[in-house]
Amino acid sequence: MKCEIIRDLLPSYIEELTSEESNRAIEEHLKTCPACRKYLEEMQTSVDAPEIKTANAKEINPFKKLKKRTWKAIGATVLVCALLFGGAAYYYGHEWTPSSGDVTVKCEKVGEVVTLSFFAKDEKLIMESYLDYSLDDGSEQVNLQMHRQNPLKKPTHKGAYFGYTFLDDDTIYNTDGNKRKLTDEDVVTIKYKDKDVKIKIKDLADGKL
């Protein structure tokens, strides 16, 4: 066979499109014709080259996809965490003023100290109190706040407490250590959501509400 015919057939031969009969003829010729062997070699390298590129591209593409997917997953995880954390922070950090019906109030006298304590009736809730001395008439106001018990943060206390140290039935020690003579005007106001409860401090002297 003529080299020209062989070379015409070589592209098909490389792609394995030629018949067995043609293959035999081509291979016979190649055995005896170094020029056509070289031609075939060159063809194979030039055909292989894009194949290598494709192979590389295929290798890179899934990697890129994986990378993209990984980033998406990381992004989603971060977002979910942020939402969970934010949600939890809000859920457990959120405080509200309780209604009087949601609160158990206890009064206890130990020695000179009378302590008022406030507990949420719902055991999953924690009570906090903020004592407000800033009222114009010098009276005190307790602002009760409650929040949910964070399961990851064991509370040091579940109730809110405040108290007075009584020198006698109508004298207390102020927080600054000075004595304070009590009159009927000396009241402490407990702020609930539904109402304010005023308690005469004098009435607490016996440790009863």
Q: Which residues of the shown chain bind Zn ion in the complex (CB under 5 A)?
A: 3, 33, 36
For Zn ion, which is the closer residue by CB, 3 or 49? 3
Q: How far is the CB of 31 from Zn ion (least distance, A)?
A: 10
For Zn ion, which is the closer residue by CB, 26 or 103? 26
Q: How far is the CB of 7 from Zn ion (least distance, A)?
A: 7
Q: How far is the CB of 45 from Zn ion (least distance, A)?
A: 18
Structure tokens, 90: 């809000």
For Zn ion, which is the closer residue by CB, 10 or 146? 10
For Zn ion, which is the closer residue by CB, 31 or 121? 31
Sign of the torsion angle spanned by Cα atoms 21, 26, 27, 31: positive
Q: How far is the CB of 6 from Zn ion (least distance, A)?
A: 5
